[in-house]
Amino acid sequence: MILADKIANLRKRNGWSQEELAEKMQVSRQAVSKWEGAQTVPDLEKILALSRLFGVTTDYLLKDELEEEEFTDEPDRAPVRRVSLALANEFLEWRRVAAKRIALATLLCVVAVIPLLLLGAATELPGSPVPESLAAGVGLVVLLLLVAAAVAIFVSCGFRNAPFEFIDKEPFETEYGVEGMVRERQSAYRPAYAKCNIAAASLCVLSPVPLFAGIVTEKAFLIVAMLSITILLAGLGAALFTLAGVRWASMLKLLREGDYAPRDRRKSRVKETVSSAYWLTATAIYLGWSFLTNDWETTWVLWPVAGVLFAVVMCLCNLYLNRDEEK
């Protein structure tokens, strides 16, 4: 009965409802109600979690008398959330699905310009019945529809990922069995991860070949058609990189390894921010340059240049972060 009263008092002192405490403890509201009603007693794991959550000692919770709270040495420390085996499985399954959706959205963003290029080139063919203004209008509408679909997928994935955001943003602990399960999945996925990356790199390296073949023919429409194939191959490469990377990153996050190790978490956030800002800027420059000059056959050059410069930017970012860490 004493433990039940202590849990209820600590909950009320923090201003939490039973539902809020249940969410923080990752149990049902009925379980909290039974604890406070002395119908059941939390197991040892939950006692430890309650101790961390309320910032009190386990001795205080387990003693058979009501007394003043005995706080831990770090009473102001934020409670560390725990990832159960069920939650880890749910997270990995969601990221498996999300990887396919994000890869598709990435592909849509890259190939969105292809209809505009082909329609524009078609108007230059002898005897073409398609007016240039109509081709430009239809091409732009298709481009915007494909980009809008990609954005909708990205936003949808962001909302669906909300319950797992703490894995990216907060310290957490994994319950018994989680690490073993993740490592088993990582080992099983490693061959597919390697194959995806090899295929993606090969597609990106070989993507200019169709364009070079088109240039040899010196036929304007064929050059644009080959350019479209080049863009498609590059998009497929980017999609494969994304497909493999999202799943692999989800496992590293749970294992807290690589860029997701606790001491490297800040580095990872900085690099993600720099990467997002870089590619958004590159996209804005590409669209602005293309629309202002209407020279879509030339402006594609921005992307291989941006790819090379991105590697330079990330090297400089790593250098800065390492120097900052040494200070």
Sign of CA dihedral 287, 289, 290, 294: positive
Domain region containing 269: 262-327
Residue 3 makes CB contacts below 8 A (sequence gap 6+) with 35, 38, 41, 42, 61, 62
Q: How many CA atoms lie within 13 A of 210 on its CB side?
A: 16
Contact 296, 120 (CB under 8 A): yes
* Residue 113 and residue 207 in one domain: yes
In the prediction, which pLDDT does 322 show? Answer: 66
Place of tokens 């990216």: 168
Number of residues assigned to the chain:
327
> Cα-flanking dihedrals φ and ψ of residue 56, to 5°?
-115, 165
**Residue 69 belongs to a domain:** no
* Residue 149 and residue 25 in one domain: no
Using only C-alpha atoms, the chain has a radius of gyration, in whole angstroms, of 27
In the prediction, which pLDDT does 152 show? Answer: 94
Split into its structural domains, the chain has a count of: 3
* Residue 18 and residue 135 in one domain: no
* Residue 311 and residue 217 in one domain: no
The span from the CA of 92 to the CA of 202, in Å, is: 27
Residue 209 makes CB contacts below 8 A (sequence gap 6+) with 230
* Residue 274 and residue 231 in one domain: no
In the prediction, which pLDDT does 266 show? Answer: 61
Give 2-17 as a DSSP string.
HHHHHHHHHHHHTT--
* Residue 153 and residue 221 in one domain: yes
> What does the angle CA 308 – CA 205 – CA 282 come to, to the nearest 5 degrees?
35
* Residue 131 and residue 117 in one domain: yes
* Residue 273 and residue 194 in one domain: no
CATH number at residue 41: 1.10.260.40
Give 126-171 as a DSSP string.
TT--S-HHHHHHHHHHHHHHHHHHHHHHHHHHHHHTGGGHHHHHS-
DSSP 295: -
In the prediction, which pLDDT does 74 show? Answer: 47
Contact 213, 206 (CB under 8 A): no
**Residue 71 belongs to a domain:** no
Note down pLDDT in tens along the chain; length 327 residues: 578 888 888 887 777 788 878 877 878 888 888 888 888 888 887 888 888 888 788 777 777 655 554 544 444 445 567 888 999 999 999 999 999 999 999 899 888 888 888 888 888 777 777 777 788 888 889 988 998 999 999 999 989 998 898 888 777 878 888 889 999 999 999 999 999 999 998 998 888 888 888 878 777 788 888 888 988 998 899 899 999 999 999 999 898 887 777 655 566 667 767 777 777 787 778 777 877 777 766 776 776 677 667 777 777 877 776 665 544
**Residue 315 belongs to a domain:** yes
* Residue 140 and residue 203 in one domain: yes
| Helices and strands, counts by H and E, the chain | 15, 2
The span from the CA of 191 to the CA of 186, in Å, is: 9
Contact 50, 25 (CB under 8 A): yes
What's the pTM? 0.66
* Residue 231 and residue 91 in one domain: yes
